[in-house]
Structure 1
Amino acid sequence: MEESKKEKLVVLIGPTAVGKTKLSIELAKKLNAEIISGDSMQIYRGMDIGTAKISSTEMEGIPHHLIDIKEPHESFSVAEFQAVVRDLISDIHSRGKLPMIVGGTGLYIQSVIFDYKFTDDASNPEYRKILEQQAAESGVDSLFQKLKEIDQQSAERIHPNNVRRVIRALEIFKTTGKTMTEYMDEQKQELIYDVALVGLTMERDKLYERINNRVDLMIKSGLLEEVSILHSQGLRDCQSIQAIGYKEIYHYLDGALSLDEAITQLKQNTRRYAKRQLTWFRNKMEVKWFDMTANNEFEEKFNEIYKYIAGKLGI
């Protein structure tokens, strides 16, 4: 497809707490854009504080998509995200607006902007049933250990309790002879949109300080109460509860950790996640990076980023 015929798309990425929300709103106003959340956890209703979900006040009238579309017990796959977001991009264009994906879940965003195909050629229902039975009888840990031996990278990316994704990774290996990482890396790295891919970064100590402060604010804003509601509903081995901010508080509510230990672990896990996000973006995508460390340079950075997007997309 010729570059000029491709639909235009802005993608704003960066680690958690780097300042994507504020910048995305200002950009959306100036670009006449609508925002699509690229966060794999903000899709869940009732999970607002722990996912740092944007409030309706913060939206300042800018339409946001893919927020609060699932119940916490429901799963949401990369393939489903890809299909929904691609439809949204076309829909937003049809209304004369510019779509902008904002978020931090690298694989989800990658699946949309590149020519990724999720097909059944790596499907093996019989083997999947065997693995599901094994997980039901012996727990997912034995399967996760097998995954670690086969594909260390996928094991680092997939939560040990995410039975569905652990089984899927093993199924791909059994069916294709390739690890999930190899299978994904072989997908065509061809952009299917005319994309301005903007990344926000920040000096590490400053970012980690912001993360720690954000966690403290989440606790003050009622994270314990939010997680307690989910816990009291009996939600357990589902995708949503594996999110950082929820699993740590679950450990506290289950009596496995003190509250202070849970909060310390939450901060540590968030910092590690931010580091993994940056590594992923730098290794997997051609990103134009902008450093947001200086507090007093927002206006200057905003103008620089806007100018880059306008120039890249010819708008």
Structure 2
Amino acid sequence: ADYEVNGIRVPYHLIDIVEAGEKYNLFRYQKDFLRVYRDIRERGKMPILCGGSGLYIEAVTKGYSFAEVPENIELRKDLEQMSMEELVRKLESMKSLHNKTDIDTKKRVIRAIEIEIYQQDNPEMRILEGFPIVTRFIGMMISREERVRRIDQRLEERLRNGMIEEVKTLLDKGIAPDDLIYYGLEYKYVTLYLTGHLEYMEMVEKLKVAIHQFAKRQMTWFRGMERRGVKIEWVKP
């Protein structure tokens, strides 16, 4: 399907490409992006990468290299026996925790430990080599107050338009709550509400705060990109 803007059909890619509950990571995204990017360029078209976190945008446009780390079932069974606090301490002993999402849930901590151990044991591991792409970066510059207002308005609209029902349907289909919580933000907090861990208004307020914090971290990342030499053209809506 395509989007339609002012009567013009605009094709899109990499939306709804995995089933709910499935884990999707930066390594897989880079593979999918490069496949689609090459296809678009071979057809003589100009691709537009819209949205996504600063990390994902920078990874595919600057040609970062990533390794595919397989699941270690036995290691996971052992780590499952540890408490969240013990897992975090173990991860902290292996790396600096710059990315706080690594300790957002127990599954994320276990996966982060799994990756660190694999990298230590397999220094020759297969690397997915990206390539730098000549890119024109354009960012939307709005005030903090306007950003907060838009985030809150968008969230309230999504809550009215079936977001809770969507998550409930996924849970009813048998997807484990932890698998939805793993995704963070809307899926996380709506799942916590539906499973009785949060009251409705508590869920709404916590979710607003979490999205505001996420947006702030993204702006910090984009400023970091500029310090690393990336020119971003900031425009007002």
Report TM bin, short chain.
Answer: 0.7 to 0.9
How far did residue 161 of structure 1 move?
2.1
How far did residue 176 of structure 1 move?
5.6
Answer whether contact 1:141 1:160 (CA < 8 A) is retained.
no
SS at 2:47 equivalent: strand
Partners of 1:140 and 1:233 in 2: how far apart?
A: 28
- In structure 2, the residue matched to 1:166 is 109
Partners of 2:87 and 2:143 in 1: how far apart?
A: 38
How far did residue 172 of structure 1 move?
4.9
How far did residue 56 of structure 1 move?
3.9
Partners of 2:70 and 2:163 in 1: how far apart?
A: 40
Answer whether contact 1:75 1:239 (CA < 8 A) is retained.
no
Q: Deviations over 1:164-188 (max 9, x none)?
A: x5345334544667xxxxxxxxxx9
Residue among 205, 227, 230 paired with 1:264: 205
Superposed, 1:238-253 pairs within 5 Å as 238=179, 241-253=182-194
Matched, 1:100 2:48: yes
Structure 1 range deviating more: 109-118 or 244-253: 109-118
- In structure 1, the residue matched to 2:142 is 202
SS at 1:207 equivalent: helix
**Aligned residue identity for 1:65:** H
TM-score (norm: length of structure 2): 0.80
- In structure 2, the residue matched to 1:288 is 232
Partners of 2:147 and 2:89 in 1: how far apart?
A: 33
Answer whether contact 1:162 1:242 (CA < 8 A) is retained.
no
Superposed, 1:138-177 pairs within 5 Å as 138=82, 142-148=86-92, 150-154=95-99, 156-161=100-105, 163=107, 165-174=108-117
Answer whether contact 1:161 1:242 (CA < 8 A) is retained.
no
Distance 1:112 1:70, change over 3 A: same
Partners of 1:257 and 1:55 in 2: how far apart?
A: 37
SS at 1:209 equivalent: helix
Identity %: 29
How far did residue 139 of structure 1 move?
5.5
Answer whether contact 1:211 1:267 (CA < 8 A) is retained.
yes
Superposed, 1:21-36 pairs within 5 Å as none
Partners of 2:114 and 2:169 in 1: how far apart?
A: 35
Answer whether contact 1:113 1:191 (CA < 8 A) is retained.
yes
- In structure 2, the residue matched to 1:66 is 14
Residue among 192, 212, 222 paired with 2:152: 212
**Aligned residue identity for 2:96:** D
Partners of 1:124 and 1:76 in 2: how far apart?
A: 13
Answer whether contact 1:159 1:242 (CA < 8 A) is retained.
no
Partners of 2:2 and 2:160 in 1: how far apart?
A: 16
Partners of 1:171 and 1:71 in 2: how far apart?
A: 23
Partners of 1:214 and 1:260 in 2: how far apart?
A: 16
- In structure 2, the residue matched to 1:221 is 161
**Runs of 4 or more consecutive aligned structure 1 residues displaced over 6 Å after TM superposition:** none
**For this pair of structures, how many residues does the alignment match?**
223
